Amino acid sequence: MSVASKVSRRLSETIAPEVIEHIYGPRLAGEMIATFPLFGALNAAHLVMLARQGILTPAQATTIAGGLLRIADEGPEGIDADPALEDAYFNIEARLVELVGADAGGRLHIARSRNDLSAAADRLRARDILLDLLDGAAKVRRTFIERGREFAEVVMPGYTHLQPAQPITFGYYLTGLASALERDAERLLDLWKRLNISPMGAAALATTTFPIDRALTAELLGFDGVLEHGLDCVASRDFSLELIAAAAQMSLTLSRFAEDMHVFVTYEFSSVEFPDSVCGTSSIMPQKKNPVVLEHLKGKAAHVVAAFGSAGACIRASHFTNTLDAHREGQAMIWPGLAEAQRALALAGIAAATVQPKTELLLDRARKNFSTATDLADALVRFAGMDFRTAHHVAGAVVRRLMDAGLRADEADVALVDAACMEVAGRPGGLDADQIAQALDPVRGVTARTVTGGTAPVEVRRMADRMALRLAEDVARVAVWRTRLVTSAARRTDALRELAAG
């Protein structure tokens, strides 16, 4: 009797070619290489557990273990992938049956389903990516911290609304980005405890009547514990949605850095410079030096945000159980989105490591572009006995008079300040020339801000030291997690080889 379906006696018709073309074919092409080692780990852990629980005989376990080791040695290239078998798992199972026979090969699926397998594979895949993202984020954070220290005394205008606001330093700007990335990394770190738990044993959704040991399977896979509720195990991919959301937030931080540098490197701003090695040129305009790294970095964030939106939209109308719209389609854009986040980190690292501020130009701008006006208002409060709002109006009037006269901020004198005071407050300010000069000196203004989080170089370096300590702690946490995964993988492999040896 001819059977149409290669995976089920329930299905009596051949799979429609459109289904092969638009669902199983693309799925298999994309997932075989990516998920092959994941299913290898899952198969090994499940087999060891079945053997130790006496659910398989020693002879059966030995036979299956030998087949799994051969499949691992052959790699994904050893499987002639057939989209009529739907997915990577069924293709791997078919290869196992081919190697060890139907009776032995078919027993490996006792007490499990593609539902808990796919949920576990997604967790293993997301776990590896999470660790890689944390490694990449650590490198960028370290670069921002180190260069923040380096440029802690490079005075420049700080901007709000892309208009000169108050003097800061380039180091202050870079450590600000390090501060934001510290929180971005914290979100990723915090996800670990919700991600690194095992759904294996949930089977399709209602667990199993076989006496399995879910904790043992979890331990062999390097999970920290078991996600108890069987339905939740297979219904939820909140861990991957949370991961892409955290990656999106981090990518947005990096994109904002790229946007600032994109403006700063323009001919009109000319505030920073990048080496030729990270720039491109034009096919027609010989003068061009294009900031290609920055432009691509900005675009990467859009891809990551779009991946989050795609996953959320797919999950939105799905039922709370295993569903293909939530777990196949919903995951489809997450993996490439996370790859874009990794690329964003690499590009941001290049930009952060190579940017060079134009020190003299930036200081000159801070001296002349009126960004010291707030310090002048503060001086009127301190030395002229004015309330701040009146002092604010006086400083604004000083700026207006300087602009009308075509003068720089640091060219204000006693007469001009007193004239503005008379205009606004009806009395002279009484500041002397030295007080005015100090108020309008951006270097002094930056150095004087020693309060927590301030612009003073000593405070910037203190914050950088604190960030470096936190970074070291974060790196150590990730190292512990990686070590545990390596250890569990070694135990799993040893146990599998022991079974194969009989």
Question: Is-contact 371 382, C-beta < 8 A?
Answer: no
Superfamily of domain 17-110: Fumarase/aspartase (N-terminal domain) (1.10.275.10)
Lookup: tokens for 213: 């040991």
- pTM as predicted: 0.93
- CA 83 to the chain's CA centroid: 33
- Is the Cβ–Cβ distance between 203 and 109 less than 8 Å? no
What does the pLDDT profile of the chain (502 residues) look like in tens digits?
445 666 665 666 677 777 776 677 777 777 888 899 999 999 999 999 999 999 999 999 999 999 999 999 999 998 888 787 778 888 899 999 999 999 999 999 999 999 999 999 999 999 999 999 999 999 999 999 999 999 999 999 999 999 999 999 999 999 999 999 999 999 999 999 999 999 999 999 999 999 999 999 999 999 999 999 999 999 999 999 999 999 999 999 999 999 999 999 999 999 999 999 999 998 899 999 999 999 999 999 999 999 999 999 999 999 999 998 898 889 989 999 999 999 999 999 999 999 999 999 999 999 999 999 999 999 999 999 999 999 999 999 999 999 999 999 999 999 999 999 999 999 999 999 999 999 999 999 999 999 999 999 999 999 999 999 999 999 999 999 999 999 999 999 999 999 999 8
For 118-361, CATH gives: 1.20.200.10
Topology of domain 373-440, CATH: Ribonucleotide Reductase Protein R1; domain 1 (1.10.40)
Q: Which two tokens stand for residue 217?
A: 């399977």
Domains of the chain by residue range: 17-110, 118-361, 373-440
For residue 198, report the phi and psi dihedrals to the nearest 5 degrees: -95, 130
**Which of these, 380, 439, 324, 349, lies nearest to 135 by C-alpha position?**
349
3-state secondary structure of 151: coil
Active-site residue set? 161, 282
Residue by residue, what is the 3-state secondary structure of 56-124? CCHHHHHHHHHHHHHHHHHCHHHCCCCHHHCCHHHHHHHHHHHHHCHHHHHHHHCCCCHHHHHHHHHHH
Whole-number Å distance between alpha carbons of 89 and 73: 17
- How many CB atoms neighbour CB 19 within 10 A? 14
